[in-house]
Amino acid sequence: MVTLDLYRVFYAVAKCGSSTRAADELFISQPAVSQAIKQLEMQLGTTLFNRTHNGMELSLNGGKLIFRQVEEALALLDDAEKKLTELKTSASGNIKIGATDAIFSNILADKIVQYNRKYPAVKIELITGTTPETLSQLKENKCDVGFINLPIEDKEVNFKGMVAQLSDIFVAGDKFAHLKGKKVSLSDLQEYPLLMIESNTVARRALANYTQTLGIQLNPDIEVENWDLMLKFAACGMGIGCVPREYAAPMLESGELFEVEVLPSLPIRGVGIALPKNIPLSYALKEFISMF
């Protein structure tokens, strides 16, 4: 099989019309150029150039027949190499980000806006789902980076640290105003209607694991599928909700909700970055991750 380097020498000689000028362009010696042309002619079984006193010109039944195809093929290869280089040195292409709706809204939104302003050429695809769903997407190479609720263990993905802390608290609306300023034991919360996120979530499992260590089992009166719905229900007096303080901050500041202080307080969780295993990171993705 003819090597690509021989075609590159052929193309340089054809463009320059001289093996000497081609040698200068390729940064190799003139004898090396002549040897490469002889080798290529031998392998193809035809004469590619006519040697004249003015230099070298393409032969009618050899060099001229293949010149255009060689030029197009080299251009395609150069373009492919350029694109690969751009992936490593410039932000282009696209990145697929997986996370829950709450993580997108409360943690990633501002960063995504900043990134888009800096790298408008990068197409950003947002893939929403629970943390287990995001992990599945990573394993199937359907997303490039996942922002997941911690704690969680999964040896099939790479964890790259924590990007935000989540402080789970209990919140309530005016219906439970008599609890303001009081400290309520976790066990006493069983006497009130409770709102909790769905049982298949990391947040719910973390709460259950912690309360079990205290010999307490908190059973929800209402399970909700997202934090926004829980906050709305809590503000309307449907129960006391367990939610990250960071997600409830606007409604706590406005007074629509207040924090029910519990003893002992719940442990701090976090949001971490997860990446697929054995997949090289594009420059665009590295730049996005570096923002955290």
Over residues 164-213, the pLDDT tens digits come to 999 999 999 999 999 999 999 999 999 999 999 999 889 999 999 999 99
Mean pLDDT of 77-105: 81
Mean pLDDT of 239-251: 96
Tokens (6 digits) for 236: 């309307």
Q: What pLDDT is recorded for position 114?
A: 95
Q: What pLDDT is recorded for position 4?
A: 87
Half-sphere exposure of 54 (CA within 13 A, CB side): 5
Residue 215 has pLDDT above 80, yes or no: yes
Counting beta carbons within 10 angstroms of the beta carbon of residue 130, is it exposed (0 to 12), middle (13 to 18) or buried (19 or more)?
buried
Q: How far, in Å, are 19, 37, 62, 85 from residue 74 at the CA level? A: 19, 17, 18, 16
Query: What torsion do the CA atoms of 254, 256, 262, 268 make, to the nearest 10 degrees?
Result: -60
- For residue 172, what is the enclosing H or E element? strand 157-172
- Among residues 151, 156, 184, 154, the alpha carbon closest in space to that of 170 is found at 184
pLDDT band at 79 (very low <50, low <70, confident <90, very high): confident
Least confident of 39-53, 75-89, 112-126: 75-89
Q: What pLDDT is recorded for position 115?
A: 94
CB-based contact 202:210 (threshold 8 Å): no
DSSP secondary structure code for residue 251 in this structure: H
CA distance 115 to 111: 6
Residue 86 has pLDDT above 80, yes or no: no
- For residue 133, what is the enclosing H or E element? helix 131-139
For the chain, how big is the Rg over CA atoms in Å?
A: 32
Residue 87 has pLDDT above 80, yes or no: no
Counting beta carbons within 10 angstroms of the beta carbon of residue 239, is it exposed (0 to 12), middle (13 to 18) or buried (19 or more)?
buried
Tokens (6 digits) for 285: 């993705």
Residue 263 has pLDDT above 90, yes or no: yes
Amino acid at 118: K
pLDDT band at 281 (very low <50, low <70, confident <90, very high): confident
CA distance 247 to 236: 17
The terminus-to-terminus CA distance of the chain in angstroms comes to 49
pLDDT band at 85 (very low <50, low <70, confident <90, very high): low
pLDDT band at 78 (very low <50, low <70, confident <90, very high): confident
The proportion of the chain whose per-residue pLDDT surpasses 90, expressed as a percent, equals: 75
Mean pLDDT of 231-248: 96
Residue 265 has pLDDT above 60, yes or no: yes
Q: What pLDDT is recorded for position 139?
A: 92
Sign, CA torsion 197/198/200/204: positive
